[in-house]
Structure 1
Amino acid sequence: MFGSGKLNLVERPGLGRIGRPIRIRANFFEINSTDDVNIHHYDVIIAPEVPPTLNRRIFTQFEALHADDVKPVFDGRRNIFTARPLPFGYTDTFDIRLPEDAGSSTTRHPRAFKLIIRKVAVINTYELHSFLDGQCILSSNILTVGRSFYTNQISQACSGGLEIWQGYRQSVRTTPGRMMINVDVSSTAFYESCELVHMVAKILGRNLGDLRRGIVDRDRLKLEKVLKYLKIRVTHRGDNSERTYKIIKLTNTPASNTKFEVDGTRTDVASYFQNTYNEPLQYPFLPCVVVRRDVYLPLEVCKVVEGQHHIRKLNERQAADMIKFSCQQPHVRANKISQGLEILGYRLNDCMRQFGLVEPEEMAVVPARVLPAPKIRYHPSSRNAAFVPKKGSWNLRDKKVATGATLSSWSCVVFGNFEMQVVQYFIRELVNVCLDTGMNIPTKNPPIFQGNPQGNIEQMLRQAWVKAGNMTRSTPQLILCILPNTGVPLYAEIKRVSDTVIGVATQCVQSRHIFQAKKQYCANLCLKMNVKLGGMNSYIEPSCIQFITQRPTIVMGASVTHPAPGGDESRPSIAALCASMDAKASRYAASVRVQAGRQNIISDLSGMVKELLKTFYQTCGRKPESVLFYQNGVSDYKFEQVLDFEIEAIRTACASLDANYKPSITFVVVNTRHHTRLFPMDKKDSDRTGNCLIGTVVDSTITHPFEFDFYLQSHTATQGTSRPTHYHVLCDENRFNADSIQTLSYNLCYSFARCTRAVSIVPPVYYAHLVCSRARFHSRNENWSDQDPESGVPVSSYGMVKPDLQKVMYFI
């Protein structure tokens, strides 16, 4: 409850019963309290203000001088917690001086600080989780990134001068009747601690010998982008100084030609180091780093400070290295999580003991159920037209799509030099597979247009569109694009032009697939093409989604994506909303908006909902009587904001169509960005990868004490440890019980249009995420690159999807 006059979060209506009951383990550890301890909460102000990392050093110095035998817990910013009062009264001020080696950055931080500490409150033990959140169990040799803790004890080299470190993430959670700690392994990239010139060679993919000749300006700009704000130490002074600097930029000139004044005489950096330190530079033709105005350091006298978190987007190779490192079989992950209790210092922890807490022992055993799979239907002429999938997947053999679209006006653009016979053979095979799968294609030999991937893409697509129209004397429906590689720029421009300029569906094909034209690949293309043209591939048996089929119901999914971390904060975020357009919840339409960056609440949700309600009415001829709304990625601390703003926006949209139109709304938050993992205890309850079986649902023990949430594992992982999806019902005017919302959400996961397997989240949310990803390509001024496909540009530069495309699944 959030106070008088506000909406309340839904309470759990009871536990689910449908499905085969099983017992599993979850990466939660129960914390028991032995004493009724009062916790003393203090507010601390450190002046002058410095970064949180320096805050901790300052507080450590305070603790050593003034805390006596009290062990305070400090959150790194404003809060201190102790089990006994600090040895002073209500408030006090302390003078702290740091040793000289504790400074950093481009401008040296002051050595003297004032700590103003004021007692705020005395709180009860049961509130501990809200404040400690695991902060008291860190050892000094562990680095903190958000709520994760890392050490280089387990690490692996990565391309481009990075290392991947394994760490642990922990959070204290309230669960029914107890307090538990959720512990999971995590991985992130750090800059390798090495000589800076070695990192330069790794970033550029060169050997050290090549660098002696210098670098071109393009490489210098690339280096500057990667190295900017990196912390370094110097190695030429011989005094083992711990002082650090931040790189501001690189010089435009090499060390041999970077000039500055010394005692009124102009000299260059290379000569200065030769004369001052009696050692010639080995790399005089490389630029210098600038760490302060008119302070230049040769690359070879700099060393990268250890433990610097890499926050920028990983390139394709680095991402592959990260996946390889972090992908672990369930039993391996479970063992590492248990080992993490030792690494994080839970065992024999004095800090926990002073708060009367007993260290956790083993993973929680959790009751769960395995839900039955729904029945799926294809066209009645299919062999085995209705069936229940086994293990979450099936194939298209001898099956025809439920509703086949007609493709009569289309063309093909070949970007690159490929033999025409090869292209024609591929198109012939693709057409045959589409026909066998139930599509209708009167035009089996579309016009083929040769295109230059470096040329004017818009002009080429327009010509292909005109050729298709002239050939059939009808509006073109599709352009098939054969791409020479997997690069982002060409694909992005094709989608920008086709979605926002011409208004025609496109289907891109990687050229490596055209030489063999495998039936499985062609069948996958058929699934995408059919729904892009308004067809329906399959649908769930109506009895398995009764809430949707019994009365007019619209299922909506919303998602917001943000630009990559470490970039320009002015970059916009993309919000998308997808909604079902039929009683089978198989066809969807989309609405998309560009909004202020890093904003999770959808600014124009009311307008987007209104658009899709109109489309639903135009498609079905009736207004929805029920709205089932799934919202992706809302943090629990923003639930109140969602209740106050987004649910009200839905109601406003309905009222704007008709003042008396008030459909019943159920609003569910869908979250995959969490660290709950489920592990089978019995082999019969695991799949071939060692994960829990598809359909495993948990709604007790590790869930909220009284709110309406559950974990659902609705997919089969191909590798690694599966992540269940966390569903949290915030508003429920449709009065679902636990079984009905759990089974409906699970069954919907079998209706994802572009594959023949159950997916990890409900399709409307999955589709909304795809729409957001596609919208990133709709900028007119974007400078795409393979390394940074989410570069930011002004909101005004984004084109809007043509209205006719918004009514079909162009984004698949």
Structure 2
Amino acid sequence: MNMIDFVKRPGLGRKGRVINVRANYIEISYLPYTNIYHYDVIITPEVPPSLNRRIYCELESLQADVFERSKPVFDGRRNIFTAIPLPFEAATFDITLSIDITPLGERPPCSFNIKVRKVAVINMEILHRFLEGKCSSSSMNILPGIMALNVLIHYKPSIMHVTHNDDEIIYAKYKRSFYTNQISQPLYGGAEVWQRYYQSIKPTSKKLMVNIEVSGTAFYENCSLIQMVVKLLVKRHPDDLRRGIPDRDRVKLERALKNIKIRVTHLGSASKRLFKIVKLTNTPASGTKLEIDGKCTDVASYFQVTYKKPLLYPFLPCVIVRKDTSIPLEGQRHFRKLNERQTADMFKLICPQPQVRANKILQGSEILNHQDNERLRRFGMHISDEMAVVVARILPAPRLQYHPSSRDASFVPKDGSWNMRDKKVATGATLGSWAVVSFGRYELEAVQNFIRELVNTCFDIGMNIPNKSPTIQQGNPMGNIEQILRQAWVKAGNMSKSPPQLIVCVLPNTGVPLYAEIKRVSDTVIGVATQCVQSKHVYQAKKQYCANVCLKMNVKLGGMNSFIEPSLVPFITKRPTMIMGADITHPAPGGDSSRPSIAALCASMDAKASRYATSIRIQGGMVLIIADLIGMVKELLKTFYQTCGRKPECILFYRDGISDSQFEQVIDFEVSAIKAACLALESNYKPTITYIVVQKRHHTRFFPMNKEDSDRTGNCLPGTVVESTITHPFEFDFYLTSHSSSVGTSRSTHYHVLYDENQFTSDSLQTLSYNLCYTFARSTRAVSIVTPVYYAHLACNRARFHFRGENWSDIDSETGGSVSTYGMVKPELQSVMYFI
């Protein structure tokens, strides 16, 4: 199948109320028609990009007669682009540059050889034809032309704005970003947030636009390590540590400091070498022994004798930076990205309300100052300084249905949310055999009161619980979790004379290890649904919290909470239809590449798209495609047939986790896999397929222009859809804001249709996608992405708990996973939504 040319936009939608919003895009008001010349650059010996730029700037200065007229732009690696051809096809230059010692502690060579060779001529006329929809994105010069223009707009910021401290670490991760050192905010624990601006050129209808976004990155403060220790341990002064650091605090400190890079200062300003902290010593500097020339001494005495510097804080431990090398805590600088907790605190500071974010974006445009950029003018390019005004529409919310006996059985939600008052779930499950395990020592009466309130709430929302007094037992959170859960399972079965359906677990904290082990055992060993609750809620037993728990319990037991009025989702109700959501979670960036990725596929099992079944696979780490998609689709097609008695005639496949550059790589394989799965079940079985990529990680933001078009936080109203001006020049894509946001600026979801045999119109697909966001079972709010993709994401996260290992997060595999390290979900749970 030839998948290079994706689905064309079938026309603009008309449904909903038309409004105007601002987008964080500025227009390239004049785009060059003349050719751009591409040169390959090889600098030897090889050095980091920041040093490459210094070398190139020196080359431009020394060879002004060669480069002055054309004013090239350099990407810091291998590419130079010019608007006027250089006076040679290939040339070699030698330059000498005075360079300080690098962060690695070595003095780099000062002499460099630079080879410049012409490799291509980019015909910008073809890029103009693409923007007008007259040629596809696979045409030559489209991507090279956009790449050249991206290098052009990033060249000046890369020269003027240095990144924070170790710029090579930052540049590697944020190639299209720059930092402003005037804009920073302090964080708890010796950290600070630096404001980061992102800019990238995007092709849109008949024009190119520059997408500008503002965010932040957190770092440790550039301060002495002793100051950092004081902040991490929440002390006022180093003297507060004179009695030493308790073992518990030392472990905490070691965890926080491990792998941080530090720069020693006891050797004077000439030393810029960096060391990485491995661990802390168990003894203070005055008690940490060294052997020098056969004589035993301690670190404090060694520094006194060797460097004539008595330690001010010999009572503190040393950092170990490599084998047999210990350095006192005093007088060192360090920096690195922050840990997870500090990053969470950072987001509280960098999630401004929409108007504040819009002002910061405009501030970023002023800092970029495209109008006063000589290189842009040399290329014949002009960029506006105003944010784009975009036409949008607000789609109507769907009508939701609950049980007919409810007072409020049918209603239209307002502003993307509602509550369970006067409502009973559409189909209430029956819970007759269950148990409660209290992990920790809590008052039995408090647990009984909570269970009583939970049962009453379940009854109020329409569930049937004949056994209102389940067995309650205590469990040691540090004990054998499998044994504890098995005991609870046996007691519940003996009490009700039937297989247990649910175990409610009271957790002492929000820590992951206990929760993960409970889910691993219940999902893959015992085969029973579990519902975890926090102990703090057990003592309060609020009605709203209990209602939220009941919604989860109902769907885990096979019930249905609500559904959309059938007439509003004709694509699903007119013919047997399966809606699928797929996602892959990969190992953390910078982690062990041998660790596998996890793929999850969730599919609807009824005509209301409210019940879902899952299929999970582990595969090679960082593999983009779903390797065993054929097997996963076959599993779910069989489950659909067993559940509904019919085969799906239509398949709507939403795929998360793919970037624009990966479309061609993934689409051909995965659509073919879906078709192959169908043919494997029956030789003439060919349901119509629509394949849509769902993207949440993008830099597009929208800002309402009128108060009546915004919610109480100033964000776009749920249902706001944008399909023109800043979307693809001619392919079928749109941005949909389906949720309301209580904090910061809401981020819409980008939907891009790559394959479509169901011949959706813009209105029909946008409306269906929006309506699906109201079917998320565990909340009474519309969610930000279509529900089947949300479920696939939850299933992926749950699957990571199913691995065995010394550490719950260790997922080691050389081949992409094996049954010895991964426990498959028990069959009795695969057809219900155990992952909710």
Question: Normalising to structure 1: TM-score of the pair?
Answer: 0.93
Unaligned runs of 5+ in 2: 128-141, 164-170
Alignment of 1:263-274 (within 5 A): 269-274=299-304
Q: 1:40, CA displacement in angstroms?
A: 1.8
Alignment of 1:103-118 (within 5 A): 103-118=102-117
Q: Please state whether the residue corresponding to 1:360 is helix, strand or coil.
A: strand
* Distance of 1:585 and 1:160 partners within structure 2: 47
In the alignment, is residue 467 of structure 1 matched against residue 491 of structure 2? yes
Kindly provide the amino acid, as one letter, of the partner of residue 113 in structure 1.
Answer: F
Relative to structure 1, the CA distance from residue 447 to residue 280 in structure 2 (aligned partners, 3 Å threshold; closer, same or farther) is: same
1:20 maps to which of 17, 24, 27: 17
* Distance of 1:111 and 1:220 partners within structure 2: 43
Aligned to 1:140: 160
Alignment of 1:533-682 (within 5 A): 533-682=557-706
1:38 maps to which of 32, 35, 38: 35
CA RMSD of the aligned region, Å?
Answer: 2.4
In the alignment, is residue 76 of structure 1 matched against residue 76 of structure 2? yes
Aligned to 1:491: 515
Q: 1:229, CA displacement in angstroms?
A: 5.3
Aligned to 1:259: 290
- 717-726 or 273-282, larger mean C-alpha shift: 273-282
Aligned to 2:91: 92
Q: 1:783, CA displacement in angstroms?
A: 1.9
The Cα offsets for residues 451-486 of structure 1, whole Å up to 9 and x where unpaired, read as 111211111110110011001111100001111221
Q: 1:286, CA displacement in angstroms?
A: 4.6
Kindly provide the amino acid, as one letter, of the partner of residue 73 in structure 1.
Answer: V
Q: 1:296, CA displacement in angstroms?
A: 5.4
Aligned to 1:178: 207
Q: Please state whether the residue corresponding to 1:359 is helix, strand or coil.
A: strand
The Cα offsets for residues 196-240 of structure 1, whole Å up to 9 and x where unpaired, read as 2222343455552355566577766765665455444332344x3
The Cα offsets for residues 748-768 of structure 1, whole Å up to 9 and x where unpaired, read as 111110111111000000001
* Distance of 2:604 and 2:350 partners within structure 1: 36
Alignment of 1:377-526 (within 5 A): 377-526=401-550
The Cα offsets for residues 132-153 of structure 1, whole Å up to 9 and x where unpaired, read as 3232231433324332222232
Contact 1:98–1:112 at 8 Å: present in 2 too? yes
Contact 1:107–1:292 at 8 Å: present in 2 too? no
In the alignment, is residue 244 of structure 1 matched against residue 273 of structure 2? yes
In the alignment, is residue 712 of structure 1 matched against residue 746 of structure 2? no
In the alignment, is residue 280 of structure 1 matched against residue 310 of structure 2? yes
* Distance of 1:7 and 1:356 partners within structure 2: 31
* Distance of 2:57 and 2:261 partners within structure 1: 22
Contact 2:261–2:336 at 8 Å: present in 1 too? no
In the alignment, is residue 363 of structure 1 matched against residue 387 of structure 2? yes
Contact 2:30–2:380 at 8 Å: present in 1 too? yes
Q: 1:113, CA displacement in angstroms?
A: 2.9
Contact 1:563–1:791 at 8 Å: present in 2 too? no
Q: Please state whether the residue corresponding to 1:336 is helix, strand or coil.
A: helix
* Distance of 1:28 and 1:711 partners within structure 2: 14
Relative to structure 1, the CA distance from residue 595 to residue 51 in structure 2 (aligned partners, 3 Å threshold; closer, same or farther) is: farther
The Cα offsets for residues 753-790 of structure 1, whole Å up to 9 and x where unpaired, read as 01111110000000011111111211221524xxxxx4
* Distance of 1:433 and 1:656 partners within structure 2: 46
Aligned to 2:192: 163
- 51-60 or 223-232, larger mean C-alpha shift: 223-232
Kindly provide the amino acid, as one letter, of the partner of residue 700 in structure 1.
Answer: S
The Cα offsets for residues 408-447 of structure 1, whole Å up to 9 and x where unpaired, read as 1101111112221221111111111111111111111111
Unaligned runs of 5+ in 1: 785-789
Q: Please state whether the residue corresponding to 2:437 is helix, strand or coil.
A: strand
* Distance of 1:753 and 1:591 partners within structure 2: 19
Q: Please state whether the residue corresponding to 1:183 is helix, strand or coil.
A: strand
Q: Please state whether the residue corresponding to 2:718 is helix, strand or coil.
A: coil
Relative to structure 1, the CA distance from residue 292 to residue 54 in structure 2 (aligned partners, 3 Å threshold; closer, same or farther) is: farther
* Distance of 2:620 and 2:113 partners within structure 1: 38
Q: Please state whether the residue corresponding to 2:632 is helix, strand or coil.
A: helix
Aligned to 2:131: none
Aligned to 1:199: 228
Q: 1:407, CA displacement in angstroms?
A: 0.5
Q: 1:193, CA displacement in angstroms?
A: 0.5
Aligned to 2:132: none
* Distance of 2:433 and 2:33 partners within structure 1: 76
* Distance of 2:83 and 2:186 partners within structure 1: 42
Q: 1:124, CA displacement in angstroms?
A: 3.5
Aligned to 1:698: 722
Q: 1:682, CA displacement in angstroms?
A: 1.2
* Distance of 1:26 and 1:507 partners within structure 2: 42
* Distance of 2:586 and 2:594 partners within structure 1: 11
Relative to structure 1, the CA distance from residue 221 to residue 132 in structure 2 (aligned partners, 3 Å threshold; closer, same or farther) is: farther
Contact 1:15–1:738 at 8 Å: present in 2 too? yes
Kindly provide the amino acid, as one letter, of the partner of residue 278 in structure 2.
Answer: K
Contact 2:489–2:500 at 8 Å: present in 1 too? yes
Relative to structure 1, the CA distance from residue 779 to residue 460 in structure 2 (aligned partners, 3 Å threshold; closer, same or farther) is: same
Q: 1:117, CA displacement in angstroms?
A: 1.7
1:315 maps to which of 320, 332, 340: 340
Question: Normalising to structure 2: TM-score of the pair?
Answer: 0.91
* Distance of 1:108 and 1:287 partners within structure 2: 31
Relative to structure 1, the CA distance from residue 597 to residue 782 in structure 2 (aligned partners, 3 Å threshold; closer, same or farther) is: farther
Contact 2:101–2:107 at 8 Å: present in 1 too? no
Contact 2:278–2:322 at 8 Å: present in 1 too? no
* Distance of 1:493 and 1:123 partners within structure 2: 56
The Cα offsets for residues 600-637 of structure 1, whole Å up to 9 and x where unpaired, read as 32121111111111111110111111110000121000
* Distance of 1:221 and 1:518 partners within structure 2: 37
Q: 1:297, CA displacement in angstroms?
A: 4.1
The Cα offsets for residues 348-407 of structure 1, whole Å up to 9 and x where unpaired, read as 111211111113220001011110111110111111211111111111111111111111
Contact 1:260–1:269 at 8 Å: present in 2 too? no
Aligned to 1:728: 752
Aligned to 1:234: 264
Relative to structure 1, the CA distance from residue 682 to residue 709 in structure 2 (aligned partners, 3 Å threshold; closer, same or farther) is: same
The Cα offsets for residues 162-214 of structure 1, whole Å up to 9 and x where unpaired, read as 22111111110010000100001111112311112222343455552355566
* Distance of 2:812 and 2:768 partners within structure 1: 40
Contact 1:703–1:710 at 8 Å: present in 2 too? yes
* Distance of 2:258 and 2:39 partners within structure 1: 37
Kindly provide the amino acid, as one letter, of the partner of residue 210 in structure 2.
Answer: I
Kindly provide the amino acid, as one letter, of the partner of residue 176 in structure 1.
Answer: S
Kindly provide the amino acid, as one letter, of the partner of residue 119 in structure 2.
Answer: V
Q: 1:588, CA displacement in angstroms?
A: 0.3
Q: Please state whether the residue corresponding to 1:60 is helix, strand or coil.
A: helix
In the alignment, is residue 61 of structure 1 matched against residue 90 of structure 2? no
Kindly provide the amino acid, as one letter, of the partner of residue 303 in structure 1.
Answer: R
Q: 1:487, CA displacement in angstroms?
A: 1.5
Q: Please state whether the residue corresponding to 1:342 is helix, strand or coil.
A: helix
In the alignment, is residue 129 of structure 1 matched against residue 146 of structure 2? yes
Relative to structure 1, the CA distance from residue 507 to residue 141 in structure 2 (aligned partners, 3 Å threshold; closer, same or farther) is: same
* Distance of 1:223 and 1:793 partners within structure 2: 27
Contact 2:83–2:378 at 8 Å: present in 1 too? yes
Contact 2:192–2:221 at 8 Å: present in 1 too? yes
Kindly provide the amino acid, as one letter, of the partner of residue 147 in structure 2.
Answer: S
Relative to structure 1, the CA distance from residue 571 to residue 225 in structure 2 (aligned partners, 3 Å threshold; closer, same or farther) is: farther
- 423-432 or 26-35, larger mean C-alpha shift: 26-35
Contact 2:38–2:122 at 8 Å: present in 1 too? yes
